[in-house]
Chain A
Amino acid sequence: MTMQFTMAISGFDALYIFMLAAFAGWVIIGHVPAILHTPLMSGSNFVHGIVVVGGIFALLNAGTPLEQTAGFFAVLLGAGNAAGGFAVTHRMLAMFQPSEHKPAHAKHGHHNARRSAKA
């Protein structure tokens, strides 16, 4: 027996991981206000860019030109997913700024404490 930390993930282990991760995703996203839905979609799009790691693994273990070609595309596309997703999400989120000051003569509606949380 070789010394190793990773153990094979069986089908049922995988189902447990999938179930918990899906639940986590559902709960995390459930609390996102509609105002952030576009950055959120591109942000979650960025997160599945982690596929590039799988692509690198597949490419490093490729033994034939065919496998190398497929692996090359896996890394190429995965890197595009990750880099592009990050770039657009970061740009969008940087645009969301709070008011610098409250309007001087606000007559009503600005007492909504939940909305006026300051950064």
Chain B
Amino acid sequence: MLNIIPQLIIGSTDLAAAFLFMYGLKRMSSPVTAPSGIMIAGLGMLVAVLASFLYAFGVDTSVKPHLLVNIGLAVAALAIGGGMAWWSGKRVAMTAMPQMVAIYNGMGGGAAAAIAAVELFGNKADGVTQLVVTLIGALIGAVSLSGSLIAWAKLDGVISKPLRIRGQQALNAVVALATLATGGYIVAVTGGMLTSPVATSGLIYIFFGCALLFGVLMTLPIGGADMPVVISIYNAFTGLAVGLEGFVLQNPALMIAGMVVGAAGLLLTLLMAKAMNRSVSNILFTNFGVVTKHKQGDIKGSLKPVDAGDAGIFMRYASSVIIVPGYGLAVAQGQQKLYEFVKLLQAAGVSVKFAVHPVAGRMPGQMDVLLAEAGVPYDMIFQLEDVNDEFANTDVALVIGANDVVNPAARTDKSSPVYGMPILNADKAKKVYVVKRGQGKGYAGIVNALFYGDNCDMVYGDAAAVLTKMIEAVRALGTKAAA
């Protein structure tokens, strides 16, 4: 049992950490206070980690001979794991953020599973409740680990296609049942209700193997477009696993932090799924990506290509412009050019706003981060519900690298796969320019009626190249006027 002083210190730092996490997350709810929010949460983490070494004063006498080695191992693990993640986190490109978050999240799930492994191998559970909770936490943590790794591989392009086999659902069910059965068997054996021909440690290996396999099988068939939702679910899973292992270790800080993240992750997942017009069960258990062919109503009108420079000059003389950026902009690395163009327009007295769809980018909010990285102030960035009514009073909507999120079929065509999805009403602007690489279709693989509208002109080309031409055209105008 711990001495009283270390016990007091650990207790109060954990309490402080739990408070600082919640206060920090609260401050992250506004761009103004968010940077201080993460610093506050970071401080909580730092004191909790430092204080946790005081657990050394409370170890069992049987463990005492190993204590120095264990402390050395802990310091080494902190340095290696923390150092490598810090190094990679400081270098990762903003476009690669979704897969990086997936990795870090998988690590958290793995850590929870590893804690459970220590408890299980050491047979430390005090009673059947603790054992069951340990196993559930281990299961969720292991699924989160292997599932997040698959999500990373998909987002990073290591695995490019959803892998589906015949009877996938049945196989998943069998593996899930095998995991649960092994867990139940471990409980029965440990409780003395059954005697196992296999050593308990063997059963534990089987349990973890099945859980990891289940995470892989569950994630493989899900399409790349749905990965952000999957990462969010696994984020909630890891939180839950951490909370449960916190109960096993009788540590309220872990319980609170884990469950706060579990609930937050669940809410975030639901918000994302809603913005994508999908239900969570639909994403997890049906094979998205097999685009069902649907009859497209006849679209009247034609695609009207225009010169980038002309479009740029038209916007220079408009009074208001709303820009709808999509992932195509980030692929072309055109954010900086875009903001340069916007600054030219603003200098000429044009009112410019950015309208960002909730699922623009490959992760909700990623487009906001990419714009912020290019220097766009956050008060120019507007979300769907705040800006959608303004399109009707706007001279020009400039759509760059976005497609499905501005497809009016979502409002009108009940047979369309995007029907019901909230969209940005770019088609209601007096004039629409669509910057597009080619005549291809969007993620959903359907024709966009917006492009055929009377008020819409197409500017074909790489987003960065098109923006460069627009900038040149507007600049040339300025020098002519000055001369």
Contact, CB under 8 Å: B66 / A32? no
Q: Hey, what's the 0/1 contact readout for A63-77 against B, CB within 8 Å counting as 1?
A: 110111011111111
Among the stretches B86-94, B167-175, B181-189, the one at the interface with A is B86-94
B264 at the interface (CB under 8 A from A): yes
Contacts of B382 in A (CB 8 A): 115
Given the known inter-chain contacts A58-B115, A81-B85, please indicate yes or no for A25 contacting B121, CB distance below 8 A: no
Q: Contacts A88-B92, A119-B32 known; A28 to B55 CB distance under 8 Å?
A: no
Does B472 lie at the interface of the complex (its beta carbon under 8 Å from any beta carbon of A)?
Answer: no
Q: Are B37 and A45 within 8 A (Cβ)?
A: no
Set B110, B119, B372: member contacting A96, Cβ < 8 A: B372
Q: Evaluate contact between A28 and B365: CB separation under 8 angstroms.
A: no
Distance of B337 from chain A, by nearest CB (Å): 17
B396 close to A (CB within 8 Å): no
- CB contact between B67 and one of A60, A77, A98 (< 8 Å): that residue: A60
Q: Mark A13-46, 1 if CB is under 8 A from B, else 0.
A: 0100110011111101111111111111111111
Size class of the contact patch on chain A: 35 or more
Known: A47-B260, A83-B81, A99-B377. A68 touches B73 (CB 8 A): yes
Chain B contacts of A77 at CB under 8 A?
A: 81, 107-108, 110-111, 114
Q: Is B311 located at the chain interface by the 8 A CB criterion? A: no
In the assembled complex, B477 has its CB within 8 A of some CB on chain A: no
Number of CB contacts from chain A to chain B under 8 A = 456
A99: chain B residues at CB < 8 Å are 377, 379-380
Would A57 and B89 count as touching, CB distance under 8 A?
no
Interface range on chain B (Cβ under 8 Å from partner): 35 or more
Q: In this assembly, does B191 line the interface, its C-beta being within 8 Å of a C-beta of chain A?
A: no
Partner of B32, one of A5, A14, A76, A98: A98
Q: How far is the CA of A59 from the CA of B77 in the complex (A)?
A: 10
CA distance A4 to B3 in the complex (A): 8
Contacts of A46 in B (CB 8 A): 38, 41-42, 45, 104
Chain B hits for A45, CB < 8 A:
101, 104-105, 108, 235, 238, 261
Whether B268 pairs with A41 at a CB distance below 8 angstroms is yes
Q: Are A78 and B107 in contact, CB atoms less than 8 angstroms apart?
A: yes
Asked if B231 lies at the interface with its beta carbon under 8 angstroms from chain A, I say yes
Q: Is the CB of B28 within 8 A of A88?
A: no
Chain A residue at minimal CB-CB distance from B243: A18
Give Cα A93 to B356, complex, Å.
18
List B453-472 residues whose CB lies under 8 Å from chain A: none
Q: Does B421 contact A (CB under 8 A)?
A: no
On whether the beta carbons of B26 and A38 are closer than 8 Å, the reply is no
Q: Which B residues, 356 to 385, have Cβ-Cβ distances below 8 Å to chain A?
A: 356, 358, 361, 363-366, 368-369, 372-373, 375, 377-384
Once the chains bind, are B252 and A17 in contact (CB under 8 Å)? yes
- List chain A residues, Cβ under 8 A from B373: 95
- When distances are taken between beta carbons in the complex, the residues of chain A under 8 Å from B252 are 9, 17
Chain B residue with Cβ nearest A92 = B369
Measured between alpha carbons, how far is A57 from B246 in the docked complex, in Å?
Answer: 11
What separation, in Å, do the CA atoms of A48 and B141 have in the docked complex?
12
What are 13 A-B residue pairs whose CB atoms fall within 8 Å in the complex? A29-B263, A36-B31, A54-B115, A58-B115, A58-B119, A71-B118, A72-B74, A74-B112, A77-B81, A84-B86, A87-B90, A97-B372, A117-B32
Taking A61-B118, A88-B92 as known contacts, 5 extra A-B pairs with beta carbons closer than 8 A to each other, sorted by chain A number, are: A17-B259, A54-B242, A55-B111, A62-B70, A71-B73
Closest 7 CB pairs of A and B: A87-B89, A37-B365, A84-B85, A105-B349, A25-B263, A25-B260, A79-B81
Residues of A within 8 A of B (CB): 2-6, 8-9, 11, 14, 17-18, 21-26, 28-64, 66-68, 70-100, 103-110, 112, 115-119
